Amino acid sequence: MSAAALPRLSPGNLLAPLLGGCLAAALLALAVPRLMATTALLKGDAALELLQSGQEPTLEGIERLLRSRQEALAWVPDARSHFDLAGAFLALSEANVRGSVTPEELRALAERHLRAGLSLAPADARAWQLLATAKLLQNDPDEAARALVLSFKANPHAPYLGNARTTLGMLLWGRLDETTQARLRKEMYSTFRQNPSRTAQIALDTGGVTLLQDALKEHEQDQARLQRLLQKLRPAEN
What's the pLDDT tens digit per position in 5-50? 555 555 555 455 545 555 544 444 444 444 444 554 555 566 666 6
pLDDT above 90: residue 213: yes
Taking a C-beta distance cutoff of 8 angstroms, is the pair 32, 47 a contact?
A: no
- The single-letter code of the amino acid at 180 is T
State the Cα–Cα distance between residues 180 and 150, nearest whole angstrom.
Answer: 9
- Amino acid of residue 226: L
Do 97 and 59 contact (CB within 8 A), yes or no?
A: yes
Q: What is the pLDDT of residues 169-195, one digit of tens each?
A: 999 999 999 999 999 999 999 999 999
C-alpha to C-alpha distances, 136 to 38, 118, 165, 168, nearest whole angstrom? 32, 18, 12, 8
Q: What is the pLDDT of residue 78?
A: 82
| CA quadruple 49, 55, 56, 58: dihedral sign | negative
When mean pLDDT is compared across 28-42, 84-98, 202-216, the lowest value belongs to 28-42
Average pLDDT over residues 192-207: 96
Q: Name, in order, each residue with C-beta under 8 angstroms of 197's C-beta and a sequence gap of 6 or more.
A: 229, 233
Distance separating alpha carbons of residues 22 and 6, to the nearest angstrom = 28
For residue 149, pLDDT over 60 is answered with: yes
Closest by alpha carbon to 160, among 115, 194, 122, 209? Answer: 194
Q: Is residue 238 very low, low, confident or very high in pLDDT (cuts 50, 70, 90)? A: very low
Task: Please say if the pLDDT value at position 204 is more than 80.
Answer: yes
Residue 127 φ/ψ, nearest 5 degrees: -65, -40
- The model's confidence at residue 237, banded by pLDDT at 50, 70 and 90, is very low
pTM listed for this prediction: 0.76
The pLDDT value recorded for residue 122 is: 96
The whole-angstrom separation of Cα 64 and Cα 163 is: 26
Q: Per residue in 93-110, pLDDT tens?
A: 887 655 667 889 889 989
* Residue 54 or 114, more confident: 114
In 3D, which of 198, 202, 166, 205 has the Cα closest to residue 185?
Answer: 166
Query: In 10 A of CB 41, how many CB atoms?
Result: 19
pLDDT in tens, 118-146: 999 999 999 999 999 999 999 999 999 99
Sign, CA dihedral 221-224-228-233, equals: positive
CB 165 within 8 A of CB 148: yes
DSSP 168: H
